[in-house]
């Protein structure tokens, strides 16, 4: 964090993400209403002191649904990126360490996966599955590991020629020790940066799927399906589209600022300026 203080945009991103995470954690205690409670007497009320973000077409409090929706959106981001990162680290480490035909095979699979538009691939897979939060997290994770794989492979290929690795190898260190003690720990910073940026992409994908009706299903709230509800009333209930849209924008912006700031903060070349 000492280094990050010289990167104000990174600090802004950190504050945004920390604030959103805090709100998601304390949502059950600060939400003024039950997010799923239908109130036919309060349908499509504009924002007021009673309902800070108005109500939707079923009279549900939008502010309460936004708070609970943040938990779903962030959960999808963290779990999906966790799955993608684990797969990417394993495949990238194998490709970068062993090289040869193993490297060629893994990288050709990566090239094939990258040639397929990720969002359409996710849509195709989700169409054959029951829409649920767990299916979304798994599918996003299984279709988002390619970038991490290429990153880890490049780091391992670079570190493989460093003196400390060659010295450990000369002393008879086994492959497992070389990978987990010398190579992987020195590759963590770019992996963390990639994961932070990946969470932003996962939040966008989940919101897009929920907006299309293929993601989190009602009555469970997510920012995407709140947006879906808003499109039916967009001409006279602007708040149903504005607030979830802003939440997605600010969250994605926060992760991008934090990821870019960390990359600059821990890049030796940028620290020379």
**Nearest-angstrom CA–CA distance, 66 and 243:** 8
**Nearest-angstrom CA–CA distance, 182 and 167:** 11
Q: Would you call 81 helix, strand, or coil by DSSP?
A: helix
**How distant is the alpha carbon of residue 72 from its chain centre?**
12
H/E run at residue 20: helix 8-25
Give the pLDDT score at 123.
80
Q: List all residues 6 or more positions away from 69 whose beta carbon is below 8 Å from its beta carbon.
A: 35, 221, 222, 223, 225, 226, 244, 247
Give the pLDDT score at 4.
58
Give the pLDDT score at 267.
64
Q: Would you call 55 helix, strand, or coil by DSSP?
A: strand
Tell me phi and psi for residue 55, to 5 degrees: -130, 165
Instruction: Count the Cβ atoms, other than its own, within 10 Å of residue 231.
Output: 10
**Nearest-angstrom CA–CA distance, 136 and 79:** 10
pLDDT tens digit sequence for 29-49: 999 999 888 888 888 888 999
Strand partners, 55: 61
Q: Would you call 15 helix, strand, or coil by DSSP?
A: helix
pLDDT tens digit sequence for 73-131: 888 889 999 999 999 999 999 998 888 899 999 999 999 988 888 788 888 887 787 77
Give the pLDDT score at 273.
42
**Nearest-angstrom CA–CA distance, 207 and 60:** 20
Residue 81: closest CA among 195, 168, 229? 195
Tell me the domain boundaries of the chain.
Answer: 4-27+59-89+122-149+184-272
Q: List all residues 6 or more positions away from 58 whose beta carbon is below 8 Å from its beta carbon.
A: 38, 39, 40, 43
Give the pLDDT score at 269.
52
- E-strand spans in the chain? none
Give the pLDDT score at 1.
45
Give the pLDDT score at 17.
93
**Residues of the chain whose pLDDT is less than 50?**
1-2, 268, 270-273
**Nearest-angstrom CA–CA distance, 247 and 110:** 33
Distances (CA, A) of 260 to 38, 147, 265: 42, 16, 9
Q: List all residues 6 or more positions away from 31 whose beta carbon is below 8 Å from its beta carbon.
A: 61, 63, 64, 67, 68
């Amino acid at each position: 964090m000492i280094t990050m203080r010289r990167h104000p945009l990174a600090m802004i991103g950190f504050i945004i993400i920390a604030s959103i995470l805090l709100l998601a954690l304390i949502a059950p205690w600060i939400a003024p209403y039950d997010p799923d409670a239908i109130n036919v007497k309060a349908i499509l009320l504009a924002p007021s002191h009673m309902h800070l973000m108005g109500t939707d077409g079923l009279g549900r409090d939008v502010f309460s649904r936004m708070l609970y929706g943040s938990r779903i959106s962030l959960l999808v981001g963290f779990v999906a990126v966790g799955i993608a990162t684990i797969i990417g680290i394993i495949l990238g480490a194998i490709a970068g360490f062993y090289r040869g035909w193993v490297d060629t095979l893994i990288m050709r699979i990566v090239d094939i996966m990258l040639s397929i538009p990720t969002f359409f691939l996710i849509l195709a897979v989700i169409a054959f599955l029951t829409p649920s939060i767990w299916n979304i997290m798994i599918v996003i994770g299984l279709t988002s590991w390619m970038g991490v794989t290429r990153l880890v492979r490049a780091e391992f290929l670079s570190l493989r020629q460093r003196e400390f690795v060659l010295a450990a190898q000369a002393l008879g260190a086994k492959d497992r020790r070389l990978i987990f003690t010398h190579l992987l720990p020195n590759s963590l910073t770019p992996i963390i940066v990639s994961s932070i940026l990946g969470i932003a992409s996962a939040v966008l994908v989940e919101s897009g799927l929920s907006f299309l009706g293929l993601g989190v299903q009602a009555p469970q709230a997510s920012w995407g399906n709140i947006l879906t509800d808003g499109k039916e009333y967009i001409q006279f209930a602007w708040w149903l589209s504005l607030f979830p849209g802003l939440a997605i924008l600010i969250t994605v912006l926060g992760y991008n600022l934090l990821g870019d700031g960390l990359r600059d903060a821990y890049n030796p070349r940028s620290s020379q300026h």
